[in-house]
Structure formats: C-alpha cells, structure tokens
Amino acid sequence: MTRRLLGALLTAATATVLLGTTPASAAAANFAGTVALSNCSGSVVKPAATPDSAPALVMSNGHCLEAGFPAPGQVITNRSSSRTFTLLNSGGGNAGTLRAKKIVYGTMTDTDVSLYQLTTTYAQIKSSYGISPLELSNAHPTAGAAIDVVSGYWKRIYSCNIDGFVYRLKEGSWTWKDSIRYTSACQTIGGTSGSPIVSGGKVVGVNNTGNEDGARCTDNNPCEVDQAGNVTVHYKTNYGQETYGIPACLTAANEIALTQAGCTLPRP
C-alpha cells in the first residue's frame, strides 16, 4: 500500500503543484473535486444517475481508514465518522473543508476502497465552492487507455496508460481482483493512496499500491498471480483498483445497498 509517507517526503519536498512528465491525454485532468486526507488522497465522486440533492461521497482506499487497515474478509458499513477532508480547486488550492457523517463502505477484500458519506450534498458543495464531483464510470476500464492519477495529498498528477489487468494482486495478507496495472510513467509514492484514476473525464479506479523493493507478495511489494497460479513480481510497478462496480451498490440517496441487483462488492 502506498499510504506510507516517510520515504515519499524525501522525494516530494514541497506540496506545490507538479504534473507528470509524460502527459497521457490531450484533455488534461485538474484537481477540482479531489481532496486531501490526513494520510492519503481522495475525491468527491458521484454516479451519473445520483441526484445533486444526495449527500456527497468521498472515495479513498480501505487502507486509508482512520481506524487502520481492515482485516482480510472484513467489510465495514455505516460506521459513524467525523473525518474532515480538504477540498481542492482546479489549481490545487484549498477550496474548503468537508466533513464525513459516516463510512458508508470500506474494505480491503477483493478491492481496496472506502466511501465516506458527507454532511453536505453535491448541490451544497457546488453552491459553496463552485466545485462539481467527479463522475464514477460504470464501465470496465480499457487496456491502453490514457489515465491520470490525481493526488490531492501531494497536489500532483501522474499521467500514463493502463498497461493491463491483473487476475489477482497479492500483498501481505490481502488479495485484490482484476487490478489495474500502470505503465512505468506513473511512479506514484506514499500519500497518493486513494487518488482517483481518471480516464476520459471519468473515474475508472482508485490508486492503491506499488512494488517498492522488488520483494514477493509482502507489504508494499505486491505480486501478480495469473489464473494458473503463476506468481510474478514487477519491481517499481504501480497499481489501482477498479471502481466501475460501485454505482450498482448505491441507492439514489448514496446509501450502500449490497443486495441490490448488479452489486458485486464484498458483503460483511
């Protein structure tokens, strides 16, 4: 997981806005709608069909939860939270502070995601700060597609492409399914965990880890496992988790509904 910040502080000494050296798309992403957590990155996200009157959602990683890493097999739903998030404008400036009402959903099983329901609606955020949410795509991402990993914590955008998809990605005690592998231009660092992966103007995933030391299947050194069980290690390769399945698990009021038709997220 790339939440760790000690090493990252040595490679990113300032919090000024930095852009990836290899732009991935003509329509450059910006920071509007992204957020900074105390230890991670995140974004205000919205399924296309959700009304602006619904309580807004912030998405980050399951391993960024304030209570620590969920255990393998653990799924958290509707847990009270008053966590705050720094909302960024398009240039990476501080637009305001958002506050959570509860953790709608959080897990590190099959995926690595957390969803916080806020005390404010999308319409209220737009009215107060002039910022719209990022739209959650409900389509599987495409290999080769240009992506931007937008870190609200570091105010940095990493631009590259989707190199492919990993049948199983194992790291320590956790296993993730159908993970997104980046091309080498996206050298994400600690603090970028939870950053939205943006492609074609929509969020297609959430950044979560990378192989830091070349080790095999250990913490901060995920390994890839194919359908035949073969294990490979890709040193300095970074990964994210798909998010296209999330909209099917939410009601119009942004409540979690794991038994809803089409929802495939892990259940408690």
- pLDDT tens sequence across 68-126: 999 999 999 999 999 999 999 999 999 999 999 999 999 999 999 999 999 999 999 99
pLDDT at residue number 10:
38
- With bands split at pLDDT 50, 70 and 90, how would you rate the model's confidence at 3? low
> C-alpha angle 72/203/147, rounded to 5°?
100
With residues binned 3-state (H G I as helix, E B as strand, rest as coil), the percentages for the chain, rounded to 5, are 5, 45, 50
- Claim to verify: residue 10 and residue 142 sit in the same structural domain: yes
- Claim to verify: residue 12 and residue 42 sit in the same structural domain: no
Handedness of CA 140, 132, 40, 151 (dihedral sign): positive
For residue 185, the enclosing domain spans 6-30+137-242
- Token couple for 238: 């970074």
- With bands split at pLDDT 50, 70 and 90, how would you rate the model's confidence at 28? confident
CATH of the domain at 167: 2.40.10.10
What is the distance between the alpha carbons of residues 88 and 16, in angstroms, rounded to a whole number? 13
Asked if the structure places residue 238 within a domain, the reply is yes
What is the distance between the alpha carbons of residues 28 and 199, in angstroms, rounded to a whole number? 10
What is the distance between the alpha carbons of residues 238 and 152, in angstroms, rounded to a whole number? 18
Given a cut of 50, whether residue 261 has pLDDT beyond it is yes
- Claim to verify: residue 230 and residue 145 sit in the same structural domain: yes
pLDDT in tens, 174-185: 999 999 999 999
Segment (H or E) for 122: helix 122-129
Indicate the Cα dihedral angle 235, 141, 43, 12, nearest 10°.
30
- Claim to verify: residue 147 and residue 61 sit in the same structural domain: no
Asked if the structure places residue 247 within a domain, the reply is no
Structural domains in the chain (count)? 2
Given a cut of 50, whether residue 17 has pLDDT beyond it is no
Which distant-in-sequence residues (6+ apart) come within 8 Å of 179 by Cβ? Answer: 165, 166, 169, 239, 240, 241, 242
- Claim to verify: residue 42 and residue 115 sit in the same structural domain: yes
- Token couple for 262: 């089409």
Given a cut of 50, whether residue 209 has pLDDT beyond it is yes
Tell me whether strands 94-107 and 41-47 are parallel, antiparallel or unpaired: unpaired
- With bands split at pLDDT 50, 70 and 90, how would you rate the model's confidence at 27? low
Mean pLDDT of 185-199: 97
- With bands split at pLDDT 50, 70 and 90, how would you rate the model's confidence at 248? very high
Segment (H or E) for 88: strand 84-88
pLDDT at residue number 266:
98
Asked if the structure places residue 262 within a domain, the reply is no
Tell me whether strands 156-171 and 34-36 are parallel, antiparallel or unpaired: unpaired
pTM over 0.85: yes
pLDDT at residue number 1:
78
- Claim to verify: residue 73 and residue 104 sit in the same structural domain: yes
- Claim to verify: residue 166 and residue 101 sit in the same structural domain: no
Asked if the structure places residue 257 within a domain, the reply is no
pLDDT at residue number 42:
98
